[in-house]
Each structure stands twice: as C-alpha cells, then as structure tokens.
Chain A
Amino acid sequence: MERIVEPLQLAFMQRALLAALLIAVVGGVVGTFVVLKGLAFIGDALAHAAFAGVATAYVLGGSIYLGSVLAAVATALAIGFVSRRARVSFDTAIGILFVGAFAFGIMLISASRSYTVDLFSFVFGDVLGVGWEDLRVMAALTVLVLALVALFYREVVFTAYDPTMAEASGVPVTVVQYGQLALLAVATVVAIKVVGIVLVVAMLVTPAATARLLVRRIPHMMAVATLLGALAAVTGLYLSYYLNVASGAAVVLVATGLFLLALLLSPRHGLLAWWWRRRLALRTRAVAPVPAAE
C-alpha cells in the first residue's frame, strides 16, 4: 500500500500520472479509428514530422506545442494532398513526406549547434519532466479532440465504413478524411512529450487494437481502449519509478503485454478460445475412421 501511495506525494509523479491519463483518453478515442482504418503508419509518421515543428520552435524560441501541432497538421494535409494528386500510393506519400519533415528538424538543430538533453526528451519521451504548463496544453488539446470527435462522430463513422454512400448522402467526404488526419496529428502531439516521438504510435494503436479483440462496438472500443491505456500508463509509471527505467518504454511495454494477453485469452478472437472451439467441433463431429485400404 505504501508503495502505491508514496510516489503520489511527489509533484512530478502526480503530473506524470495526469499526463498519462490524458494520453490514454486521446489514444483510446482517436486510436479506435486508427486501428479500424489501418492508419498506424501515418500516426507514426506524424509524430516524426512533429519533430520539425519542435526544432523550429526551439530555434526560433516559440511554443514547442504550437510548433509541433502546426508541423504535424501540415504534414498530414500534405500527405493527403500528395497521395491524391501525385499518383503515388498513400504509403509512398507518407514515406516521402514524414522523413522529409524529420530531416528538416534534424538539419535545423544541427545548424543551431545546441544539442541538448531537453530537445531529445521529445525523441524518447520524458514523462517525469512534464510541467503544469505542459499539462494545461495537453488538457486543452484533449478537450479539442474529444469535442471534434463527438460533433462529427456520424460523419467519421459513415466515411470510414462506406465512403461512396456517405458522399451520396451529402457528407463532405474529402473534408472528413483530411480532418481525421489533422485530428490524428493533434493526438500524436498530445502524447509526444510523455512517450516520445519514437514510441508515440504505440499509445494510438496498442490499446485500441487490444480493445478490438475484446468488444465489438465503436463506443465500447473507445471506452475499453481508454481504460487499457490508463492501466498501461499507471502501471508503466510505477514500474519506471521503482525499477528506474525509461518511463515511455515502460508504459508502452505494459500496453504491449496487455495486447498479447488479450490475444491469448479473448473469448471470441483469442488463441485459447480458437483452440478450444476447434477441439469441440472435432469431437462432436467425430465419425468412425475410414478403414485403411488393404
């Protein structure tokens, strides 16, 4: 009991836990669409592209969050535009643009000759360095994301499920698809400070993918993914505190562990359930073995 309460008395742990819970909410809600529409690669790409904004803001002395949101959203829209206009696949457009943006960030930083630990906390995440100002921005972005998803829930679902009929019904399908990418960009930025650019995609994908194995309605998926994300975040932070390991990595590994557990034990899609059903089917349909030909 004491082991649970003790870290809670430290201000930086309180902030870390709050930050982790915010990420769990955004990751659960936005991640549900990421998993359903196979947008994991672009989520990863946007986190890297955000680094260009981080670097720019760092060199120019602006807000790092504003910089990364702008860079990620601009890259998201550019990916959508290039894949529509340049006759290259969506994957290829992502590959070209995110590495370009990331390289731009690296170039800026190397030119300014001020490599610092502070900046690289964005690459690997530094949940224990989250300040109250970070939390305020993260909370505002979380509210923005939730409000947009709630307002345009039907449009997003309709477009994802059947874009032709959605367009025939008057849904502005192109706007919805661009908007979804922009939303994804904002979601990655919310999580970047905590888990870092390299690991951010895990918070968008892993809890939602785990939820997909367990429930079968979209709102349920969002709720379960949020709970699993929160569980992973809290457990990971405690592990990080007591084992003195990198916090972002600990959070992501707990989420990965939960996914593997669900893969094994899920009542409908789990490996054990599959094995058991097959065994039952074989037993009930068993017939006398065909006599071997002489």
Chain B
Amino acid sequence: METERAAPLVFEGVWAGYGTRTVLEDVGFTLRRGALTGLIGPNGSGKSTLIKVALGLLRPWRGRVQVLGMDPAEARERVGYMPQIELVDWDFPLSVAEAVLLGRYGRLRRLRPPSAADQAAVRAALERVGLWHLRDRPIGELSGGQQRRVLLARALARSAELLLLDEPLAGLDIGAQEDLERLLRELADAGSTVLVATHDLHHVAHSYDDVLCLNGRVVAHGRPEVVLTEEVLQQTFGRHLVLLEIGGRTYGLPGG
C-alpha cells in the first residue's frame, strides 16, 4: 500500500489560528516513522493548536497537512489522540473498559454490542497500559496516573499508527511521570509514531528520539542532542525559560 510508506505527519507552510489571532505561522515539519518526538514550547506557543490541526479539528488558513499520506479527516481511524486531562468529564459514570471502548467509535455498529474484535482491542490496550485488572472500576475512582493510562489505552484501542498526546504528564507526581514516559518509549519502540506535547525538557533531552521546538513557528526540529542548544532554547522559550546549572550540567526549566 502506498500509505504504508507515507510519512506519519507532514506540515507544509501551515498558518492557523482562532478568529483573527494567528497561532501557527508558516509551520513545516515531517515526523519520522517510529520516532518518539517531544513537542516543546511555552504556553501559548501553539502546541495544542498544532495537534488540533493534525486531527482535522481546526482547518489551517493556509498550507498543507498530510496524515499517513491522507487528509486528516480521512486518516481519523489510524490516529490516536489523548486530550489534556481537564477536557474530560471524570465524574461521568463510565467504567474503565467502557471509556476505552469509545476509542473504537468509528468501528462500532449502531444498536449492536461491541464485536469480538472490539473487545479484543480494548483488552489488548488495557493490558498494554497495565489497567486490565481495573476494567470495571468507574473512571471517577482512578488516580491521576491511572486516568492518563485510560486515555492512552483509548488511543491505543484504535490500533493507531500515529499517537498525538497533549501534555500527558501535566500534574503527575514524579513516579507516575516515569511510568508513563517508559510506556511511551515502549510504544515507539514497538513501531508507533508518537508526538508528545510536553514541558518535561529533561526526558525529551535524554530519552526522546526527536524534538520539535515551537514558538508560533518551528524554531528547530531534530535529534535532541544536536538541536537543544542554549540558543534554540532561548529562541523557543524566550524569557519563559529558566536555565539552571547544577553539578556542571545545564537544565532548562520552562516557566509559565
């Protein structure tokens, strides 16, 4: 199939925004297949907007977006998405398995119970994130880390080739962050292309394959060890970045 060889996500000269406010200015990049890419930038730099454009939720004003060689709306079934945690109603009376099943939405048949394939996909996704034993638990009774895993499992249940994750680590304690980072690494190693909007520069610098630095426009894109220079970080974060030197190593802490 032609799409097998198509790049997972391509932006070419994309301009986008809301109303009259420009957020993305001439954004262009191509994600590498199977890479774990960190999408970094200060708040308001366009990370969520970029993901919305890639999902087809927001139409670019100008430029071209290709997902797996297709239009974003056509590629829907092969893209997994994890929204920011606060966009989801966690008081809603759904079980873990029911929430994950919604990831199969496009394949579910009206007025029919889920097929064996749907159930198998839900099980595989929940086992992947280590939540199968909690499948009947109401989503309102989960910890923050478990909630992210449910959202990740829901994205995986689509058998997605491209995963777009919007700040999956926000608000997690260090242990839960480490667990989730390990999981993301494993998914990329298993062949998924993963784009993670994140403020966790430390993990991006040390364990991600690529980094995409965004500040309205693309400041830099490439391997972290090559790309993450002090100059690039300054251009990306400007005055939002606090550089800390501890024990001979420089750490960048993105501020508000």
Please list the residues of chain A having a beta carbon within 8 angstroms of any beta carbon in chain B.
36, 150-151, 154, 157-158, 160-171, 212, 216-218, 221
Task: Report the bound CA distance from A166 to B99 in whole Å.
Answer: 12
Are B105 and A170 in contact, CB atoms less than 8 angstroms apart?
Answer: yes
Question: Other CB < 8 Å A-B pairs besides A157-B92, A161-B89, A166-B105, 10 of them?
Answer: A151-B110, A162-B87, A162-B102, A163-B87, A165-B83, A168-B57, A171-B105, A216-B93, A217-B93, A221-B93
Task: Please pick, from A151, A169, A217, the residue contacting B106 in the complex, using a CB distance under 8 A.
Answer: A169
Task: Please pick, from A151, A157, A169, A170, the residue contacting B94 in the complex, using a CB distance under 8 A.
Answer: A157
B230 to chain A, nearest CB (A): 36
Task: Report the bound CA distance from A87 to B87 in whole Å.
Answer: 21
Are A164 and B105 in contact, CB atoms less than 8 angstroms apart?
Answer: no
Task: Please pick, from A162, A169, A216, the residue contacting B88 in the complex, using a CB distance under 8 A.
Answer: A162
Task: Please pick, from B76, B88, B138, the residue contacting A161 in the complex, using a CB distance under 8 A.
Answer: B88
B15 to chain A, nearest CB (A): 21
Task: Report the bound CA distance from A236 to B141 in whole Å.
Answer: 37
Are A36 and B55 in contact, CB atoms less than 8 angstroms apart?
Answer: no
Q: Is B1 an interface residue (CB 8 A)?
A: no
Task: Report the bound CA distance from A168 to B55 in whole Å.
Answer: 6
Are A168 and B56 in contact, CB atoms less than 8 angstroms apart?
Answer: yes
30 A-B residue pairings within 8 Å (CB atoms): A36-B93, A154-B102, A154-B105, A154-B108, A157-B92, A157-B94, A160-B89, A161-B92, A161-B99, A162-B83, A162-B102, A164-B57, A164-B83, A165-B81, A166-B102, A168-B55, A168-B76, A168-B79, A168-B81, A169-B76, A169-B102, A169-B103, A169-B105, A169-B106, A170-B76, A170-B105, A170-B106, A217-B93, A218-B94, A221-B93
Are B102 and A217 in contact, CB atoms less than 8 angstroms apart?
Answer: no
Q: Is B154 an interface residue (CB 8 A)?
A: yes
Q: Which of A36, A151, A168, A212 has the most CB of B within 10 A?
A: A168
Task: Report the bound CA distance from A164 to B56 in whole Å.
Answer: 11
State whether A217 and B95 are in contact (beta carbons under 8 Å apart), knowing that A154-B102, A160-B89, A170-B106 are contacts in the complex: yes
Contact partners of A165 in chain B: CB under 8 A: 81, 83, 88, 102, 154
Are B89 and A162 in contact, CB atoms less than 8 angstroms apart?
Answer: yes
Task: Report the bound CA distance from A167 to B56 in whole Å.
Answer: 9
Contact partners of B99 in chain A: CB under 8 A: 161
**A158: nearest chain-B partner, CB-CB:** B102
B40 to chain A, nearest CB (A): 21
B90 to chain A, nearest CB (A): 9
- Chain B residues numbered 101-123 whose CB sits less than 8 Å from any CB in chain A: 102-103, 105-106, 108, 110-111
Contact partners of B138 in chain A: CB under 8 A: 216
**B81: nearest chain-A partner, CB-CB:** A168
Task: Report the bound CA distance from A183 to B192 in whole Å.
Answer: 41
Task: Report the bound CA distance from A171 to B111 in whole Å.
Answer: 16
Contact partners of A166 in chain B: CB under 8 A: 102, 105
B176 to chain A, nearest CB (A): 21
Contact partners of B108 in chain A: CB under 8 A: 154
Contact partners of B87 in chain A: CB under 8 A: 162-164
Task: Report the bound CA distance from A161 to B92 in whole Å.
Answer: 6
**B88: nearest chain-A partner, CB-CB:** A162
**B140: nearest chain-A partner, CB-CB:** A216
**Binary contact readout B212-240 vs A (1 if CB under 8 angstroms, 0 otherwise):** 00000000000000000000000000000
Task: Report the bound CA distance from A154 to B73 in whole Å.
Answer: 20
Task: Report the bound CA distance from A162 to B101 in whole Å.
Answer: 13
Task: Report the bound CA distance from A150 to B112 in whole Å.
Answer: 10
Q: Which of B55, B93, B99, B138 has the most CB of A within 10 A?
A: B93
A217 to chain B, nearest CB (A): 6
State whether A151 and B111 are in contact (beta carbons under 8 Å apart), knowing that A160-B92, A161-B99, A161-B102 are contacts in the complex: yes
**B155: nearest chain-A partner, CB-CB:** A165
Task: Report the bound CA distance from A212 to B73 in whole Å.
Answer: 37
Task: Report the bound CA distance from A160 to B90 in whole Å.
Answer: 11
Contact partners of B76 in chain A: CB under 8 A: 168-170
**A37: nearest chain-B partner, CB-CB:** B89
Contact partners of A150 in chain B: CB under 8 A: 111
**B56: nearest chain-A partner, CB-CB:** A168
- Chain B residues numbered 68-101 whose CB sits less than 8 Å from any CB in chain A: 73, 76, 79, 81, 83, 87-89, 91-95, 99
Are B56 and A218 in contact, CB atoms less than 8 angstroms apart?
Answer: no
Task: Report the bound CA distance from A36 to B88 in whole Å.
Answer: 13
Task: Report the bound CA distance from A218 to B103 in whole Å.
Answer: 18
B218 to chain A, nearest CB (A): 23
Closest 9 CB pairs of A and B: A169-B105, A161-B92, A168-B55, A164-B83, A162-B88, A168-B81, A164-B87, A216-B93, A158-B102
B234 to chain A, nearest CB (A): 33
